[in-house]
Chain A
Amino acid sequence: MPFCIAVYDVNQKRTGKMLKLFRRYLTWVQNSVFEGDLTPAQLKHLQQEADVLLQDNDGVVFYQLRDERYVERIALGVDITNRSRFL
């Protein structure tokens, strides 16, 4: 299962739009940082939708890992992320 980390840096006016879009696909980690498992097709969808929203000096960066096994995640301080499917 591909694992994906997405980071965006956009004008304040568009942060809300970005947040709403990314929340549909990924789990919120921190302000403008998201992570989660997506299929290649889902990732493509997300990228296309994000691209439409971008203006001026906005930018989004996607980091893709082939498998979640390659991730070692270390969180210091407060970690609010909850990716569990058992809510």
Chain B
Amino acid sequence: MKKPHYLFSSGRLRRQHNTLALERATGERSPDDDPTDEGLPSVTPDGKNHPFPVETVDSLYIFGEVDINTKLITFLGQQGIPAFFYDYYGYYTATLYPRESQLSGRLRVDQARHYLSPKRRLVLARAFVESALFNIERVIKYYQPRLSGDEQLTVQKALLDLKRDRDALPLTVDIPTLMAVEGRIRDRYYRLWPYFLGTDVVARFPFNKRERRPPSNELNALISFGNSLCYTTVLRQIYRTALDPTVAFLHEPGDRRFSLALDLAEVFKPLLVDRMIFRLLKTAELTPKHFEKHLGGCYLSEAGRKIVVGHWDERLSQTVQHRTMNKRVSYERLIRLECYKLVRHLCDPVGEAYQGFHMWW
């Protein structure tokens, strides 16, 4: 089966004998925004050449400083391998998205039609928010019984608020309100995190509020990095379907980004990203030394990124028993199934309406 490959080393990635090969570099890379940088490779590929089987590559995650050329781009395009690039600080910067191979004009028209009709668009946007909130609730409910005293009461109260907001969703009439509801709940939810993480972890990683651009502390850095992994994973699955990743329903279909991936990622973040963060911090797999401060922000170090990505990869292949399909499916597969559900909703207006993914465990 094809699987994602993660490139942490720097060097040159190239097509060699119709397969992929990474010529490793041995030196230390310099930051992308180094004032003396002329845009040339800061390391030379003088290390070992490492060919790896292209037929088993599903996608490439490039965290190192890697040189590529058009021959490689052409090759990746032919093989249908998307590549995701991250900068020196671990920020997601770009996707090399191969020519669409799974095209369906009918679906594209349907997708645009659902976007253009405010009523239809609202139905979908609401479904995304609804299932995102449901999954957040699931995460909270998991931790609630483990708390005691005041903490439990606060969580209880937050849970009630969340439920009230979720019940009021059908009354929302426009997208900005939906976004506001979602944002408010996420905000409240993040404020509960110190309780979930426990005093030990909070002593090491203080956290009070979600901040981006740049992430202000370790936890914010972790959330940002986790979300970007989630986003690319969803995009990878969308790429395998005929959906157009730029036409979204909850987020505004903007330029320069794949908004549909943002919509779907919203649903899976609580399940995949948030639980991963709790796990990594509670087991102390990540410690403060895995973070670095740069330019007024906080970022994961390379070693930290490796840990997170390794864990992420493992998590995606974990399976759960699917209720209606009556077989075990991996978390990654769940995302693909979500895409198919969306396709069905878009193509078949009289059939069952799209219902976002709800965690059932």
Residues of A within 8 A of B (CB): 1, 19-20, 23-28, 36-39, 42, 45-46, 82, 85-87
Contacts and interface: CB of A to CB of B under 8 A. Distances in A.
A20 B309 contact: no
Contacts of B50: 82, 87
Interface of B: 1, 3-9, 17-19, 22, 50-56, 306, 309-310, 313
Contacts of B55: 24-25, 38, 42, 45-46
A32 to B, nearest CB: 15
Contact of A87 (B7, B54, B56): B7
Contacts, number: 53
A87 B52 contact: yes
Contacts of B306: 86
Contacts of B56: 25, 36-38, 42
Nearest to A16: B17
B53 A1 contact: no
Given A23-B17, A24-B55, 6 more contacts: A23-B53, A26-B53, A27-B52, A28-B51, A36-B53, A87-B7
A26 B19 CA distance: 10
Contacts of A1: 1
Contacts of B19: 20, 23-24
Contacts of B17: 19-20, 23-24
10 nearest CB pairs, A to B: A20-B17, A24-B19, A85-B5, A25-B55, A86-B6, A23-B19, A87-B7, A25-B53, A23-B51, A24-B55
B318 to A, nearest CB: 15
B1 A87 contact: no
A38 B55 CA distance: 9
Given A1-B1, A39-B1, A86-B306, A24 B6 contact: no
Contacts of A87: 5-9, 22, 50, 52
A56 to B, nearest CB: 23
A86 B309 contact: yes
B3 A85 contact: yes
B1 A24 contact: no
B315 to A, nearest CB: 15
A87 to B, nearest CB: 5
A86 to B, nearest CB: 5
Contacts of A24: 17-19, 53-55
Nearest to A26: B53
Name which of B54, B56, B306, B309 has the most chain A CB atoms within 10 A of its CB: B56
A42 B2 CA distance: 10
Contacts of B6: 85-87
Which of the listed residues A1, A20, A85 has the most CB atoms from chain B within 10 Å of its own CB? A85
Contacts of B3: 85
A20 B18 contact: yes
Contacts of B1: 1, 37, 39
Contacts of B5: 85-87
A24 B20 CA distance: 8
B8 to A, nearest CB: 6
Nearest to B53: A25
A4 to B, nearest CB: 11
27 contacts: A1-B1, A20-B17, A20-B18, A23-B51, A23-B53, A24-B17, A24-B18, A24-B54, A27-B53, A36-B53, A36-B56, A37-B1, A39-B1, A42-B55, A42-B56, A46-B55, A85-B3, A85-B4, A86-B6, A86-B8, A86-B306, A86-B309, A86-B310, A87-B5, A87-B6, A87-B8, A87-B52
